[in-house]
Structure 1
């Protein structure tokens, strides 16, 4: 690698890039020093600092260096639930104000979907969950189908396999979920009908497609009494949901991230 910077931060960046390219076999100190055109002592000091923060690990006393778990965790760090709720509550408020229908922010938690936030509309429908913290098996609600559709095929199949008996107890056939997953692939949202407390309701669910949600599958659902919305009204509701989600994401991106937070010093 051509030498880019003699600073500690630049050297650390070069080392992390090299170790990322080396993969599982890693690289020896001498090889890293040669590749960065730095003295072994300088490279070793940087490696020690990186190791102190879990970004680099060494195999034995004199083994090769590899990327540590801390690097992976940073790359795939999921936001806290409070961050998600704060970012997308404005979308729930906007959707409910525009449609007069109740909206729910749902996320996957293992083999369940959990309600993170909701807004009550003036037009009531019968939900499965009673409010924030309410849980239902993944796939029982339409939001579960939307969340399953966002997962890779192997993970989705495993979740459905593990939930097969539970779904049967709830009267939800796997074929229905599979149809909703395929519909999502075509249309980008899920439309489904479920019966709760003997009452059938229509649910429209739109995914939260957000780079900041890596490692978490989430969606916003809108519930309406069955046959209340015609096809045009459904399409309008979906468009309203998508626009509100996009605007909430945009506002979250431009909001001052450092507000109320402390400065974290770099370890180098």
Structure 2
């Protein structure tokens, strides 16, 4: 199988996923991918045979196949991050009523592993679980990017900046200022963009035993709902929940273990 065929297959899967569970007809796949109808149909049929796509009852529409559930479960079980973070996201969404997210880094992007909506669900850059956004866009990705080495940051920013500038109106200096702010405060506020100007939020990195960001938890909030007092409460709770996830992900880490022991001691006194 050639690299071009793989790229076309991935483009078709992305097109079907973009329908967010609605039936996706072949003409829509052709429109979204730019492939000619014969090529698209041939690849679609192969993806159906492999279980990556499922055909609707009308025999003319397509959905993501059940194979993705198996692949997703395998990816999730490998890191356990989604299972570890789920209770934290539920607590945060229940307490504040807003939407909370778990993101992990993947190449030049971050991928959404989980979402918990409160009473005030919002739009976000990711279309849902499994959605990707470029590093440098949104609170979670900036929280992760800020914890990378300078060399990694330079490479990622150089790669992603054309998209960040053209599609979202995010300039290099604004992004660099926010990265510096994260190091000083521990929290990402996001750079804002012209795509979702009415939203704001916070992001907090989840670190491993080698002090690398393996994930980030974040919230997306209507600006009108984020008062200064609520922002401070969110910072406190995000810090607590990030530490809980870190303890679960790094049970043998001596520093995190020491924090757990100190917390237990304080609860007993």
Which entry has the higher C-alpha Rg, 1 or 2?
1
- Other-structure match for 2:113: 116
* Separation in structure 1 between the aligned mates of residue 194 and residue 119 of structure 2, nearest angstrom: 19
More helix by share: 2
- Other-structure match for 2:148: 151
Q: Deviations over 1:202-256 (max 9, x none)?
A: 1200010232885x6321111110131221210111111111222343356669x
Secondary structure (helix, strand or coil) at the match of 1:162 reads helix
Secondary structure (helix, strand or coil) at the match of 1:227 reads helix
- Other-structure match for 1:126: 123
Q: Deviations over 1:163-212 (max 9, x none)?
A: 12111122211122111111111111111353475552012000102328
**Distance 1:85-1:200 versus aligned 2 partners, 3 A rule:** same
- Other-structure match for 1:207: 205
Aligned partners of 1:193 and 1:200 also within 8 Å: no
* Separation in structure 1 between the aligned mates of residue 121 and residue 214 of structure 2, nearest angstrom: 26
Secondary structure (helix, strand or coil) at the match of 2:83 reads helix
**Distance 1:145-1:252 versus aligned 2 partners, 3 A rule:** closer
What 5-or-longer segments of structure 2 have no aligned partner?
Answer: 1-75, 253-269
Instruction: Give the one of 81, 84, 87 matched to 2:84.
Output: 87
Secondary structure (helix, strand or coil) at the match of 1:191 reads coil
* Separation in structure 1 between the aligned mates of residue 245 and residue 215 of structure 2, nearest angstrom: 14
Q: Which runs of 4+ in 1 moved over 4 A?
A: 79-82, 195-199, 251-255
TM-score, length of structure 2 as denominator length: 0.60
Aligned partners of 2:178 and 2:191 also within 8 Å: no
Secondary structure (helix, strand or coil) at the match of 1:151 reads coil
What 5-or-longer segments of structure 1 have no aligned partner?
Answer: 1-78, 256-268
* Separation in structure 1 between the aligned mates of residue 151 and residue 226 of structure 2, nearest angstrom: 35
**Distance 1:81-1:199 versus aligned 2 partners, 3 A rule:** farther
Q: Deviations over 1:35-74 (max 9, x none)?
A: xxxxxxxxxxxxxxxxxxxxxxxxxxxxxxxxxxxxxxxx
- Other-structure match for 1:57: none
- Other-structure match for 1:182: 180
Over the aligned positions, Cα root-mean-square deviation in angstroms equals: 2.6
* Separation in structure 2 between the aligned mates of residue 198 and residue 243 of structure 1, nearest angstrom: 28
Instruction: Give the one of 158, 162, 165 matched to 1:161.
Output: 158
2:135 aligned with 1:138: yes
Higher relative contact order (CA 8 A, sep 6+): 1
Secondary structure (helix, strand or coil) at the match of 1:104 reads strand
2:216 aligned with 1:219: yes
* Separation in structure 2 between the aligned mates of residue 90 and residue 147 of structure 1, nearest angstrom: 21
* Separation in structure 1 between the aligned mates of residue 164 and residue 150 of structure 2, nearest angstrom: 19
- Other-structure match for 1:31: none
* Separation in structure 2 between the aligned mates of residue 194 and residue 248 of structure 1, nearest angstrom: 27
